[in-house]
Amino acid sequence: MQITQSHFGGCLCEAIRFELASTPLHHIICHCQTCRKAIGATRVAWAVVHIAHFKFIDLLPVEYESSFGVFRTFCGKCGTSLTYRQAENAETIDITIASFDEPALFAPTQEIWLDDKVHWEIQNHTLAQVFKDCE
Ligand SMILES: [Zn+2]
Ligand SMILES: [Zn+2]
């Protein structure tokens, strides 16, 4: 995979900053119930990235095991949700697109877990539609 310029981001209070030294592999919107609760939003945009290209720059966020083997992180001071990682998948980590300094760069290409979607959330039919998890 080709390494391109770095992308930076972090939490609202700026205590936690991160660097992604490549471009994301996928950009998705997740409607699943666990993401909703974890983030406190009715849909969540995620950038799926190579874990080897991602690092927290200084302070580390708080980590929480939201399901068996699923680890989410957030800033312990301001609460911004930052990452999602599955222990069984050592290759990738997901970053909340909203926490990037330039979220506009990462337009989602698919919606997943539409089976869980809150009915009044508007479905974007220009995106690939996945009713459960991505493959
Ligand atoms: Zn913070
Ligand atoms: Zn989800």
Look at residue 2 and tell me if it is in a domain: no
Instruction: Note the ligand closest to the C-alpha atom of 62.
Output: 1
Look at residue 1 and tell me if it is in a domain: no
Look at residue 118 and tell me if it is in a domain: yes
Domain count, the chain: 1
d(CA 110, CA 126): 9
Question: Is residue 10 predicted with pLDDT exceeding 90?
Answer: yes
- Stretch 30-59: mean pLDDT, rounded? 96
Assign residue 104 the CATH number of its domain. Answer: 2.170.150.70
d(CA 123, CA 127): 9
Look at residue 120 and tell me if it is in a domain: yes
Look at residue 82 and tell me if it is in a domain: yes
* pTM, entire model: 0.92
* C-alpha 121 to ligand 1 mean position (Å): 28
- Stretch 13-23: mean pLDDT, rounded? 97
- pLDDT band of 131, cuts 50, 70, 90: confident
Closest CA to 90 of 54, 59, 65, 57: 54
Question: Is residue 5 predicted with pLDDT exceeding 80?
Answer: yes
Look at residue 135 and tell me if it is in a domain: no
* C-alpha 24 to ligand 1 mean position (Å): 23
- pLDDT band of 3, cuts 50, 70, 90: low
- Residue 79 is part of which domain span? 7-129
Look at residue 134 and tell me if it is in a domain: no
Note the pLDDT tens digit of each residue in 65-82: 999 999 999 999 999 999
Note the pLDDT tens digit of each residue in 89-104: 999 999 999 999 999 9
* C-alpha 55 to ligand 2 mean position (Å): 22
Decide: residue 127, CB within 10 A, 0-12 exposed, 13-18 middle, 19+ buried.
middle
